[in-house]
């Protein structure tokens, strides 16, 4: 059994990367490995938006990641600098920046880039989807 | 010879074209700030990040050069570029910032093998 | 030994960069748009990495390329095989 980390840098509905990453994540778990974490960077931060509302016949990527977390306790870390630039923030960041809305909530967590480097060191494998 | 823990950050994107360059350099700087040995390999359009005459972009678009200049302060000493790629762009090291190290294209696979961690931007 | 994952078409500039980085022991996995290499028998990588290039079957299927890949006897992998491949290589680099 190995520890896997995933780095996701593509936005849902713009890039196939999140779909590939999600299917890979389930395959990793199905082979008996553990997912040490998923880190969302660059345009990948859009995966965390709780305001995405795709048509009913399309996968809601945010909910799909949240389900992965609920079933397997996989940490979902979002780079805070990449997120704030792109208008993704949780309630406390919204207050801090004087914004009227927020669109990021648990199980997604805003965190620093250090978390990515820590994940790369801790995991036996880091696979990038971008 | 593998430096344990060393991180190679590959930069393939030019300034003022996307946020890939900025966010790739950020990853390199954070790793270096955490004391990880970090080296950079510039490929393709990424080489444009090393041009010493580059400025800021359209209004509100930050320049990359100050970040490139910061690399040395963070002890990121190796900025690799292949001779072939430079020639292919009709550039010489005279046009680039200081501290760029040239390597032959055929050495690139070895460079990747030497680093225990790689991030590709 | 490195597993290189190519997500873009074989005639993209990133595919050229990947070919420069692939070592003699490395393997290549084609995913997403990368699987369109099934339509490019003249792609230099086929000769550079004989029998070390794999294609992700679900991306071939979704693009209608699975039977073409089979005709050319290209090695394909299911998602499970993708994970198995990453088990064998301590490092992976994604080219996108």
Mean pLDDT along residues A50-72: 98
Residue C35 Cα, gap to closest chain B Cα (Å): 20
For residue B10, give both structure tokens: 């590959």
Confidence of residue B58 (pLDDT cuts 50, 70, 90): confident
The answer to whether the predicted template modeling score (pTM) of the entire model surpasses 0.95 is yes
Residue B111 Cα, gap to closest chain C Cα (Å): 9
Q: Which fold has domain B3-120?
A: Hypothetical Protein Ychn; Chain: A, (3.40.1260)
* A79 among known catalytic residues: yes
Mean pLDDT along residues C1-26: 97
Taking CA atoms, what residue in C is nearest to B82?
Answer: C20
Distance spanning both ends of chain B, measured CA to CA: 24
Q: Measured on CA atoms in the order B9, B10, B14, B16, is the torsion positive or negative?
A: negative
Put simply, whether B64 touches C (Cβ < 8 Å) is: no
Q: Is the pLDDT of residue A85 over 90?
A: yes
Structural domains of chain A ordered from first start:
3-51+60-129 (3.40.1260.10)
Q: How far apart are CA A93 and CA A110, in angstroms?
A: 9
- Which segments of B12-60 are extended strands (E)? 38-42
Q: Is the pLDDT of residue C17 over 80?
A: yes
- Parse chain B into domains and list their residue ranges: 3-120
Mean pLDDT along residues C36-57: 97
Q: Is the pLDDT of residue B1 over 70?
A: no
Put simply, whether C88 touches A (Cβ < 8 Å) is: no
The answer to whether the Cβ–Cβ distance between B27 and A42 falls below 8 Å is no
Residue C40 CB contacts under 8 Å (≥ 6 apart), including other chains: C10, C11
Q: Give me the pLDDT at residue B56, please.
A: 82
Confidence of residue B60 (pLDDT cuts 50, 70, 90): confident
Mean pLDDT along residues B48-52: 96
Put simply, whether B89 touches C (Cβ < 8 Å) is: no
Of B10, B44, B110, the CB nearest to C13: B44
Of A82, A117, A121, the CB nearest to B30: A117
Among the listed residues A6, A130, A112, C91, the one whose alpha carbon sits nearest the alpha carbon of residue B29 = A112
pLDDT cut 70: percent of chain B above it: 98
Instruction: Dump pLDDT digits (tens) for B6-26.
Output: 999 999 999 999 999 999 999
The answer to whether the Cβ–Cβ distance between B36 and A117 falls below 8 Å is yes
Q: Is the pLDDT of residue B88 over 60?
A: yes
pLDDT, averaged across chain C: 97
Q: HEC string of B75-104?
A: CCCCEEEEHHHHHHCCCCHHHECCCEEEEC
Q: Give me the pLDDT at residue B2, please.
A: 61
Which of A 88-107 lie inside 8 A of C, CB atoms? none
The answer to whether the Cβ–Cβ distance between C23 and B109 falls below 8 Å is yes
pLDDT, averaged across chain B: 94
Structural domains of chain C ordered from first start:
2-95 (3.40.1260.10)
Q: Is the pLDDT of residue A109 over 80?
A: yes
Chains that touch B (3 or more CB pairs under 8 A): A, C
CB contact at 8 A, B103 and B6: no
| Residues of B with Cβ-Cβ distance to C26 under 8 angstroms | 109
Residue C76 CB contacts under 8 Å (≥ 6 apart), including other chains: C54, C55, C56, C57, C60, C66, C69, C70
Q: DSSP class of residue A14?
A: T
Among the listed residues C81, C3, C56, C83, the one whose alpha carbon sits nearest the alpha carbon of residue A1 = C83
| Residues of B with Cβ-Cβ distance to A82 under 8 angstroms | 23
Q: Give me the pLDDT at residue B57, please.
A: 78
Q: Residues A79, A83, A116, A119: which is the catalytic one?
A: A79
ipTM over 0.90: yes
Mean pLDDT along residues B99-113: 97
């Amino acid at each position: 059994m190995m520890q896997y980390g995933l780095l996701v840098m593509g936005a849902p509905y713009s890039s196939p990367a999140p779909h590939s990453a999600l299917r890979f994540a389930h395959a990793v778990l199905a082979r008996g490995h553990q997912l040490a974490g998923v880190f969302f960077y660059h345009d990948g931060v859009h995966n965390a938006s709780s305001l995405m509302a795709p048509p009913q016949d399309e996968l809601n990527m945010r909910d799909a990641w949240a389900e992965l977390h609920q079933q397997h306790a996989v940490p979902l870390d979002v780079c805070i600098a990449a997120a704030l630039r792109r208008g993704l923030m949780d309630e406390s960041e919204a207050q801090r920046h004087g914004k009227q809305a927020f669109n990021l909530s648990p199980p997604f967590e805003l965190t620093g880039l250090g978390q990515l480097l820590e994940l790369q060191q801790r995991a036996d494998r880091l696979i990038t989807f971008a | 010879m593998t430096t344990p823990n060393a991180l190679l950050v590959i930069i393939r994107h030019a300034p003022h074209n996307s946020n890939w360059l900025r966010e790739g350099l950020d990853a390199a700087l954070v790793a270096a700030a955490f004391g990880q040995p970090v080296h950079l390999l510039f490929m393709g359009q990424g080489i444009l990040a090393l041009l010493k005459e580059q400025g800021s972009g359209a209004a509100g678009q930050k320049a990359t050069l100050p970040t490139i200049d910061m690399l040395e302060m963070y002890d990121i000493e190796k900025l690799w570029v292949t001779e072939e790629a430079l020639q292919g762009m009709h550039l010489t090291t005279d046009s680039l910032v200081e501290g760029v190290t040239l390597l032959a294209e055929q050495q690139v696979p070895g460079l990747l093998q030497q680093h225990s961690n790689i991030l590709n931007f | 030994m490195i597993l290189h994952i190519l997500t873009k078409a074989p005639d993209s500039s990133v595919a050229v960069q990947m070919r420069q980085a692939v070592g003699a022991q490395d393997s290549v996995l084609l995913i997403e748009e990368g699987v369109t290499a099934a339509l490019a028998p003249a792609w230099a990588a086929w000769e550079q990495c004989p029998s070390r290039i794999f294609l992700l079957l679900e991306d071939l299927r979704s693009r209608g390329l699975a039977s073409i890949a089979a005709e050319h006897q290209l090695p394909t992998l299911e998602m499970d095989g993708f994970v198995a491949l990453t088990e064998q290589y301590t490092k992976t680099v994604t080219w996108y």
